Amino acid sequence: KTPAAQEAPAQGAMEPMGPGTMGPGPMGPGPGFRPDQPYPMDYVQDAGCLLTTLCFFGAVGTTCCSGFGVLSGLFVDLAPYQMMLYLYLTLLGLVATVVELEPWQVPCMAETLERAHYELNHWAKFITWLCGRGWFYIFIGLLEFSQWNFLFSILGVWVTTAGVACLVMHCSGAVSPLEERYEDGIELGLAPGMA
């Protein structure tokens, strides 16, 4: 091997995760990386891998099924209230999907996701807290139950269960409180140039 080949990391080698990296993988420092500030910014309270996966698939299912309802409303005569409900569920599902995605999981959209998390943290802070997300998912699940069909009933059970799990995790203290997001009196989350 040449000296350059010996120094270069192997193709697909995992970089260590730490400040300045976008997470596990060969992605390295993310967009907006500054050595004096950790990346990614923590705008959304972490719910743990299992609960985040449960919430993510519920949000994607809500978005897809209600989006299909909106599209079918273009060809089938739906009542106006039902079309509006499908539109609301599609938008709420998209918001929930964005909340559950981390920027390092979708590198091609990392900056967009980080900006979306910042805007949600600014304009709808309750969604970024685990307790608020729990009530948000329960609300979505109850809206899905109101459709009275098999698919939306299954989704309603799934999403409501995710919401209740978020509330239980919040009340049990299994996650660190948001006050720990403060360091030396400055809230982590506002990256330079994002104000």
CB 135 within 8 A of CB 102: no
Instruction: Name which of 139, 130, 59, 51 is nearest 93 in CA terms.
Output: 59
The mean pLDDT of 122-146, rounded to a whole number, is: 93
Task: State mean pLDDT over 165-173.
Answer: 90
- pLDDT at residue 144 is higher than 70: yes
What is the percentage of the chain residues whose pLDDT exceeds 90?
A: 40
| 38 — pLDDT class (breaks 50, 70, 90) | very low
Mean of the pLDDT values across residues 5-17?
44
Which three-class secondary structure state does DSSP give residue 29? coil
Helix axis angle, 80-100 to 130-145, nearest 10°:
150
Between 193 and 153, name the one with better pLDDT: 153
At 6, list the tokens. Answer: 């010996």
Grade residue 177 by pLDDT with cuts at 50, 70 and 90: low
What are 37's strand-pairing partners? 34
Range 9-36 average pLDDT: 41
What is the pLDDT at residue 150? 92
Give CA torsion, residues 137, 42, 190, 31, to 10 deg: -110
Model's pTM, two decimal places?
0.69
User: Taking a C-beta distance cutoff of 8 angstroms, is the pair 110, 22 a contact?
Assistant: yes
